[in-house]
Amino acid sequence: MDTPLRGMIVAITSSRRAGDLAHIISSFGGIPYVAPTVGIDLRQKGSKEDLNFLNTLLDNKFDYIIFMTGLSVYSLIATAKNWGLEKKIIDFLNQVVVIARSSKPKETLAKHGIKTDIVPVDNTTEGIVKLLENHSVMNKKVAIIWPGSYSPILKAHLVKAGATVFEYSNYSYSIDINESGPNLLEKMGFNYVPTNEDKVVQLIKDVNSGRINVITFTSPPAVYDLFYLAVVKKMKQSLQISLNKYVVVAAVGPSTARELKENGINVDVIPEIYKMGPMIKSISDYLGKSSHLKIRKQRRHYLGRI
């Protein structure tokens, strides 16, 4: 396929579906540069914190359960299985209103025999907030199963509307990970690429030297961990300057774009449909319609450094 992306080096900061994203980039003629900035760190098996949450679900009459990702579904069911509570949790979930943020958690729920009652049209945290504005949550109990990171927006909205909110996640995002996270992702069938600090540092250096044309972000934690490491390595300011002047920056959706903006980065591309394929198509369209000012600056920047 001959597109404006042909020959462009496109950095991938995702780990969970890095291989899938690399394939899409290649189909548009781009050159994938895989350097995941975030990994999954699963809490140690048998944690009492997990058991306490499972008992909280089973011992209380919840009205809504919100799943943010497929991984959040899978990790909850896997944890319940570890404690011999899988059937009880599945039966419980089929008795309450289940909200899936997007098709991914809905599909994972279905694989476990759990029905999904609601999927918002806007597959974001803000989309769930808008959705729940049409539901009375006064004096309702709501559990949010988070994907390793928390957004205060949803809980704040629910509490303001009079709901009692419980939050849970048994994994976190981290550059320093153990084997449990990758093992979990492999069981789910994800084409996972593990993160590596040296690769991330090299990514920052390659951005600063002008070797990267486009960089993609598919989650807020991928942004956060990149800049956390940049701060540790005293490279944050140079990274900000390089991304804003020389690199086309793409965010898969509003929450990821917001994290970039909070780190001082201007976002060039956000697809209308918050998925990887539409994101790469939007990048190609952007390059085709723009004056390529960033790319021209980038080439001058690169030539000046070699």
pTM of the predicted structure, to 2 decimals:
0.67
Report yes or no on 179 lying in a domain.
Answer: no
Q: Which domain holds residue 64?
A: 44-169
- Tell me how far apart the alpha carbons of residues 55 and 89 are, in angstroms, rounded to a whole number: 9
**CATH number of the domain within which 146 lies:** 3.40.50.10090
Please, which residues have CB within 8 angstroms of residue 133's CB and are 6 or more apart in sequence?
none
Roughly what angle, to the nearest 10 degrees, separates helices 125-132 and 152-160?
10
CB distance 35 to 11 below 8 Å: yes
**pLDDT tens-digit profile of 229-268?**
899 999 999 999 999 999 999 999 988 999 999 999 999 9
Q: Please check whether residues 229 and 273 belong to one and the same domain.
A: yes
Is residue 177 very low, low, confident or very high in pLDDT (cuts 50, 70, 90)? very low
Q: Please check whether residues 135 and 195 belong to one and the same domain.
A: no
Residue type, 268: D
Q: Which residue did the predictor score with more confidence, 123 or 171?
A: 123
Q: Please check whether residues 195 and 95 belong to one and the same domain.
A: no
Average pLDDT over residues 209-238: 92
- Tell me how far apart the alpha carbons of residues 151 and 125 are, in angstroms, rounded to a whole number: 8
Identify the pLDDT of residue 306: 46
For the chain, how far is it from start to end, CA to CA, in angstroms? 31
Identify the pLDDT of residue 216: 97
How many domains in the chain?
Answer: 2
CB distance 29 to 3 below 8 Å: yes
Report yes or no on 174 lying in a domain.
Answer: no
Identify the pLDDT of residue 147: 73
Please, which residues have CB within 8 angstroms of residue 64's CB and are 6 or more apart in sequence?
96, 97, 98, 99, 135, 137, 140, 141, 142, 143
Listed ranges 17-26, 40-49, 131-140; the one with the highest mean pLDDT? 17-26
Identify the pLDDT of residue 151: 74
Average pLDDT over residues 100-125: 90
Last residue of a domain, one of 169, 198, 229: 169
Q: What is the DSSP letter of 210?
A: T
Identify the pLDDT of residue 11: 97
Report yes or no on 107 lying in a domain.
Answer: yes
Report yes or no on 181 lying in a domain.
Answer: no
